[in-house]
């Protein structure tokens, strides 16, 4: 069985390491289709999109979503490191949902204190979460995110990368884009 770490680090060609090279739309060998959603925890549009994706993705299990944290500033770097730390520890989706909720519904600052509190709320041990933020696995994922951000010239979020094409949002309803591209649920 493929470990979460191996999946995240792309050792089997499944995640960030090979997506831009293989072509996102082919599902990276899964037989389905996929897309990258580039986001930032500091983006209120990204929060709204995450809520929409939380409904749309379960209705479309044939489509794989690869969340990519934008890395274009020091603040983005800290937020992305927290998200990838949780992912490396196996709680990426839960952390992303809870951290967005803490920021946009709980009116908490997207700072280290909130990051650790949210990590603990999803079942992660604080010291392990902080250690993972500083670890080589997260550094590798941050480097890959930076490469994607630069390759597709992404300077604002949210954005989709479908069929190796960057689509800026919210120029159009994100769910409409997904439904046009991948079919309706």
- Look up the CATH number of the domain holding residue 24: 3.40.30.10
31-54 per-position pLDDT tens digit: 577 889 999 999 999 999 999 999
> In whole angstroms, what is the distance from residue 102 CA to residue 180 CA?
32
Query: Mean per-residue pLDDT for 148-156?
Result: 87
Question: How many domains are there within the chain?
Answer: 1
CA-CA distances (angstroms) from residue 102 to 53, 77, 152, 158?
Answer: 18, 19, 30, 19
What does the mean pLDDT of the chain come to? 81
pLDDT tens profile 88-115: 999 999 999 999 999 999 999 999 999 9
Query: Residues of the chain with pLDDT > 70: what percent?
Result: 79
Q: Which domain holds residue 45?
A: 4-182
Residue 26 carries which DSSP code? G
Mean per-residue pLDDT, 1-29: 40
């Amino acid at each position: 069985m493929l470990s979460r770490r191996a999946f995240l680090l792309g050792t089997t060609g499944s995640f960030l390491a090979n997506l831009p090279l293989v072509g996102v739309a082919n599902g990276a060998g899964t037989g389905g289709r996929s897309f990258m959603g580039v986001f930032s925890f500091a983006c209120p549009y990204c929060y709204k999109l995450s809520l929409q994706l939380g409904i749309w993705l379960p209705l479309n299990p044939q489509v794989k979503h690869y969340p990519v944290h934008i890395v274009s500033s020091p603040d983005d770097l800290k937020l992305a490191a927290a998200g990838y730390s949780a992912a490396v520890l196996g709680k990426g989706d839960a952390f992303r949902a809870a951290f967005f909720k803490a920021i946009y519904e709980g009116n908490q600052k997207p700072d280290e204190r909130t990051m650790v509190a949210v990590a603990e709320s999803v079942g992660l041990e604080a010291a392990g979460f902080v250690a993972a933020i500083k670890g080589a696995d997260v550094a590798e994922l941050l480097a890959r995110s930076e490469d994607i951000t630069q390759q597709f010239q992404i300077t604002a979020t949210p954005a989709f990368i479908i069929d190796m094409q960057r689509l800026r949002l919210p120029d159009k309803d994100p769910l409409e884009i997904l439904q046009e591209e991948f079919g309706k649920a």
